[in-house]
Amino acid sequence: MKVLVVGGGGREHALCWKISKSPLVTSLFCAPGNVGISKNATCVDIKVTDIESLVRFAKAEEIELTIVGPEVPLSLGIVDRFQEENLNIFGPNQAAAEIESSKAFSKNLMKKYDIPTAFFSTFDNYNDAVNWVKEVKPPLVIKADGLAAGKGVIICHTEDEALSILDDIMNSKIFGDSGNCVVIEEFLEGEEVSFIAFTDGENVIPLESSQDHKALLDGDEGPNTGGMGAYSPAPVLTPELHDIIMNKVMIPTVKAMKEEGREYKGILYAGLMIKESDIKVLEFNCRFGDPEAQPLLMRMRSDIIPLMRTISSGGVAEGEIQWYDEASVCVVMASKGYPGDYKKGFPIHRIDEVNSMDGIFVFHSGTARDDGNIVANGGRVLGVTALGHTIPDAMNAAYKAVGHIDNELLYYRTDIGKKSLKYI
């Protein structure tokens, strides 16, 4: 079958890497793709937001399944448009994707259906938001309502900090129209976990557990990013907690979306805060996490295509996903200065050498080719991902590989996976 993947980041490289191994796939395309993806798929120069061109390409090439990686085209209604043309596409439609594209919608959904989440309030008026902050008192978390590439969530420890962030988001528009409305919620303590599942709109098939590291600096310090690394499995998520999450979060959310007339099909990702046996939802995403997709897909034994094809064609998702026993760790190498201003165009060497290492794969996020060289072309540049018998083994392998690529213009955290060690 012919398959098209929409996107061009590390998540999409991981998807293309995994999909290319399926015996069901005869041709694989990726739009727009990147340098790394070009080794697994034919890259097509179409932007993820150019939905009409993507539709035309899928029709011309007789694509049998399109898989959408990033959230932006989902929020723009790419699934609805493809379905209008009777083209099979994997992902939630525009109404269902609002679970990520509007944090206010998501929080109100959780409140209505008693899905556990932090105490919150939403505001589209700056003065009302300021008055609420002064009344409730920090620490608080302020979130831009719309999409902000993983950077629209700010923890505020003081009132002055919270008021300054509100001014930045609502008045200075640092996130554009995504900040026309904000969600302000209580600050939750605990450990974050990513819980990702396939759903056909009724049945929920969970993936293995994973844990993202969103903060820029070691020890979860510094500003939020799109993700500086991830590992799987996450031992904080015990079998007992897994069952609680399925029964109190994932299944109720899928049912709630159907009740709201927004039947949800595709990947549902819950970002959770866990403190002992208490679980609360921080956010929902409507796609694979990045960088969680990298370690998860390296660990996945099952062919991913049959499940995606079944869900996209309106079938019933059944069975369990099979996994390799090994652990996996992904270390993101980012351009220094990210998530602020950073340089582009500097060369990166020895990637092929690292890919030849046993149990290692380098997923490209923000790369390009210039005069025959691979160069940095984004904030998050590479996701160096390793398999190991245990999480410490995978950590050691990943950081050994990172050392081979080390570049003075690249930055990476040195503690990806460290949180797991207390459970081992």
What are the pLDDT digits (tens) for 149-177?
A: 878 899 999 999 999 999 999 999 999 99
Same domain? 196 vs 285:
yes
Q: What is the pLDDT of residue 236?
A: 95
Q: Which of 312, 338, 370 is the last residue of a domain?
A: 312
Please report, rounded to a whole number, the percentage of residues in the chain having pLDDT higher than 90.
96
Q: What is the pLDDT of residue 74?
A: 98
Q: What is the pLDDT of residue 366?
A: 95
> In b/e form, how buried is each residue of 350-388, taking b as 16+ CB within 10 angstroms?
ebeebeeeebbbbbbbbbeeeeeebbbbbbbbbbbbbbb
Q: Which of 136, 152, 180 is the last residue of a domain?
A: 180
Q: Which of 280, 312, 344 is the last residue of a domain?
A: 312
Categorize the per-residue pLDDT at 389 as very low, low, confident or very high, splitting at 50, 70 and 90: very high
Q: What is the pLDDT of residue 137?
A: 84
Categorize the per-residue pLDDT at 309 as very low, low, confident or very high, splitting at 50, 70 and 90: very high
Report residue 396 as tokens.
Answer: 């050691």
Domain assignment of residue 31, yes or no: yes
Domain assignment of residue 99, yes or no: no
Mean pLDDT, residues 94-115 taken together: 98
CATH classification of the domain holding 362:
3.90.600.10
Domain assignment of residue 117, yes or no: no
Domain assignment of residue 116, yes or no: no
Same domain? 234 vs 278:
yes
Same domain? 19 vs 81:
yes
Same domain? 388 vs 282:
no
Nearest alpha-carbon partner for 376 in 417, 405, 396: 405
User: What is the full DSSP assignment across 315-335?
Assistant: ----S---B-SSEEEEEEEEE
Same domain? 66 vs 154:
no
Domain assignment of residue 186, yes or no: no
Same domain? 302 vs 243:
yes
Same domain? 233 vs 308:
yes
Read off the DSSP letter of residue 396.
Answer: H
Same domain? 207 vs 304:
yes
C-alpha span between 86 and 62 (Å, rounded): 11
Categorize the per-residue pLDDT at 403 as very low, low, confident or very high, splitting at 50, 70 and 90: very high
pLDDT at 377 over 90: yes
Report CA 352 to chain centroid distance, whole Å.
Answer: 26
Same domain? 373 vs 400:
yes
- Report the 3 state secondary structure along 155-195: EECCHHHHHHHHHHHHHCCCCHHHHCCEEEEECCCCEEEEE
Q: What is the pLDDT of residue 406?
A: 80
pLDDT at 276 over 90: no
Same domain? 34 vs 67:
yes
Count up the domains in the chain and report the number: 4
Mean pLDDT, residues 311-325 taken together: 94
Domain assignment of residue 129, yes or no: yes
CB proximity list for 153: less than 8 A, separation 6 or greater: 141, 142, 143, 144, 214, 224, 283
Domain assignment of residue 46, yes or no: yes
Q: What is the pLDDT of residue 341?
A: 94
Mean pLDDT, residues 390-410 taken together: 96
Domain assignment of residue 103, yes or no: no
pLDDT at 302 over 90: yes
Amino acid letter at 71?
E
Query: How much is the pTM?
Result: 0.95
Same domain? 306 vs 210:
yes
CATH classification of the domain holding 268:
3.30.470.20
Same domain? 138 vs 229:
no
Domain that holds residue 132: 125-180
Mean pLDDT, residues 281-305 taken together: 97
Q: What is the pLDDT of residue 277?
A: 85
C-alpha span between 245 and 63 (Å, rounded): 36
CATH classification of the domain holding 140:
3.30.1490.20
